[in-house]
Amino acid sequence: MIAFLIRRLASAIPTLLVIITVAFFMMRVAPGGPFDEDRALAPDIEANILRAYNLDKPLVEQYFDYVGNLLRGDFGPSYKIRDFDVNDLILAGFPASLQLGGTAILLAVILGISFGTLAALRQNQASDYAIMTVAMIGIAVPNFVMAPLLTLVFGVYLSLLPVAGWGGGALENKLLPVIALALPQVAYIARLTRGSMVEVLSANYVRTARAKGLREQVVVLRHALKGALLPVVSYLGPATAGLVTGSVVIETIFDIPGIGRYFVQGALNRDYTLVMGVMIFYAVLIIALNLLVDMIYGFLDPKVRHG
């Protein structure tokens, strides 16, 4: 297990380096720069600014400077939000994204697996169809439709919950965004669980368990579910990374100070350092979560051994 971990961590370094390099140069290939505005800058002023940010140096030199700073844990200054460094912005934004995404994924796992299992056990019965129809709608209705609907009903008409805002992370401010964020995931996980559960329920080891005369509850929860969860677990790695790094749509609609917005804002503003920072952060998270998924796999499925 330790050797597996070390091997995986070692292989993460070149992966990250490739991501950083490709991202760095791709950002620069995009036309337009951070200081292209409707008011063209006087040549002197533009030169001053480029010098101030070292953007007047050759690109390769800028790249090595950037990687050098990264090694020291410095993501550099944001070109567009001058009063904060990229480190500040990520540190300030991540807790909100993590709380929202974390709660949403937890909710999605609990509800999704429960509904999925229930549907599988009642295969081709009315409740199965009902759950799967709702799930299909949940997947098909996008966030940017669901979220405004929720705010309109619960915020404007019923005045039960705030329409938007973070309120320092108050529960009432979190409810709607968590629901909007979790719903499609609930649906997706329910479908995944149902699919693999149906398959597993007819597998030999489940039949064996039944033949041994175990109670149905034990068969389902101890034996079948463990096997059925494998596809769900592998889906959860990237899904969790996606949710905890923030959703642009949800953060924009609910005015939540997470880091999801920085992806789009940063890219549109050509805020090179901010986009790179968020991207590297995201990459590290995905690598870490995938590693975690692989380890959970080992526990769930005896066939997978990490030697």
Partner 1 sequence: MLLKNFRRAALGFGLAVALTGGAQAEKVLRVGNMGEPESLDPHFVQGVWENRIVGNMFLGLTTEDASATPIPGAAESWTISDDGKTYTFKLRDHSWSDGTPVTAGDFVYSLRRILLPETAAEYASLLFPIENAQQVNSGEVPADKLSVRAVDDKTLEVKLVGPTPFFLEQLTHYTAFPVPRHLIEKHGQAWTKPENIAVNGPYTLKNWVPNDQITLIRNDKFYDAANVKIDTVVYYPQEDRTAVQKRFRAGEIDWAADFASDQFEWLKSNLSDETRVAPYLGIYYYPMNLRKPPFDDKRVRQALSMAIDREIITDKVLKTGELPAYSFVPPGAGGYGNPSMVSWMDEPYSARLEKAKALLAEAGYGPGNPLKFTLSYNTSENHKRIAIAIASMWKQHLGVETELFNSEVKVHYRALNSADFSIARAGWIADYNDAQNFLYLLETRTGPNNYSGFSNSEFDKLMVEAGTTGDMDMRSSLMAKAEAIAMEEQPVIPIYYYVSKNLVSDRLTGWEPNAKDVHRVRYMDLK
Q: Which residues bind to partner 1, rule: CB under 8 A? A: 31-33, 35-45, 47-49, 51-53, 80-84, 88-89, 92-93, 96, 148, 151-152, 155-156, 159, 162-166, 251-258, 261, 265, 268-270
Question: H/E element holding 189?
Answer: helix 171-201
Minimum separation from the CB atom of position 252 to partner 1 (A) = 5
Q: Is 98 exposed, middle or buried (0-12, 13-18, 19+ CB in 10 A)?
A: middle
Do 147 and 253 touch, CB atoms closer than 8 A? yes
Shortest spacing between CB 25 and partner 1, in angstroms = 18
Of 139 and 164, the one with the shorter C-beta distance to partner 1 is 164
Residue 30 or 140 with smaller CB distance to partner 1: 30
Q: How far is the CB of 221 from partner 1 (least distance, A)?
A: 35
Q: Residue 27 or 291: which CB sits closer to partner 1?
A: 27
Torsion angle, CA of 60/64/70/76, rounded to 10 degrees? -60
Q: Which is nearer to partner 1, 253 or 280 (CB)?
A: 253
Q: Cα separation of 193 and 202, whole Å? A: 14
Q: Nearest distance from residue 126's CB to partner 1, in Å?
A: 35
Who contacts 136 (Cβ-Cβ below 8 Å, separation ≥6)? 187, 191
Q: Are 131 and 190 within 8 A, CB to CB?
A: yes
Percent helix, strand and coil across the chain, each rounded to 5? 75, 0, 25
CB of 34 to partner 1, least distance (A): 8
Secondary structure string (H, E, C) spanning 128-158: HHHHHHHHHHHHHCCHHHHHHHHHHHHHHHC
Q: Could you tell me which of 294, 293, 262 has the C-alpha nearest to residue 280?
A: 262
Q: Cβ closer to partner 1: 145 or 218? A: 145
Cross-strand pairs, 85:
77
Minimum distance from CB of 272 to partner 1 (Å)? 12
Instruction: Choose among 161, 164, 172, 178: nearest CA to 99.
Output: 178
Q: Which is nearer to partner 1, 115 or 282 (CB)?
A: 282
Is the CB of 247 or the CB of 251 nearer to partner 1? 251
Terminal C-alpha separation, the chain: 6
Closest distance of CB 32 from partner 1, Å: 3
